[in-house]
Amino acid sequence: MNEQAPSPIQSAVRPGLIIGLVSLVITYVAYFIDSSYLASGYFGLIALVLFFGLIIFFGKEFRKESGGFLTFGAAFNFSFFAILISGVIGLIGNILLFHVIDPTLPQVLGDLTFETQLEMMENFGQNPDSMPTEALDKMKEASASNFTLVGQLKGFGFGLVAYAIIALILGAILKKRDKSLDF
């Protein structure tokens, strides 16, 4: 019987679903505890570390299933499609959270993000009061627009580029060459 190595794309479905659901559960738990966590940089950092950890874990499992070796292309494809599936699940879950469960949440998070931006400006020595009112209004509007339906869809579109870059990094981490094939 000729055993074929599993396809990276097919193998990415289950991990993508798991990672997407885990990130969704974390998002909803944070929302129910205190919705301001969703605008926190620490929450994003924790989620990112967990995300990378899970992708690497599942990537190593895929490499084992593939006979212990993985080309860069297969590792990239696996990582990208797992991240893509996870991202679609996260997008759907966030749209439900922001537009069905709590339609006031986008404005609240937009305001919190704007306040965080002002604090960062002060920490870097910039006085927000010295800025023109129009510039502050544009900053506030941009902060709020990220949480609208259109903003989330745009973010997902730009996220595809980030997904590809992350998958390139993960592909480099997960690849493993069979040195016994070298001449």
pLDDT for res 30: 93
Cα dihedral across residues 101, 106, 112, 117: positive or negative: positive
Is the model more confident about 17 or about 3? 17
d(CA 32, CA 125): 35
Instruction: Report pLDDT digits (tens) over 152-168.
Output: 999 999 999 999 999 99
Confidence of residue 1 (pLDDT cuts 50, 70, 90): very low
Instruction: Report pLDDT digits (tens) over 139-151.
Output: 888 888 888 889 8
CA distances from 123 to 114, 153, 183 (A): 14, 31, 58
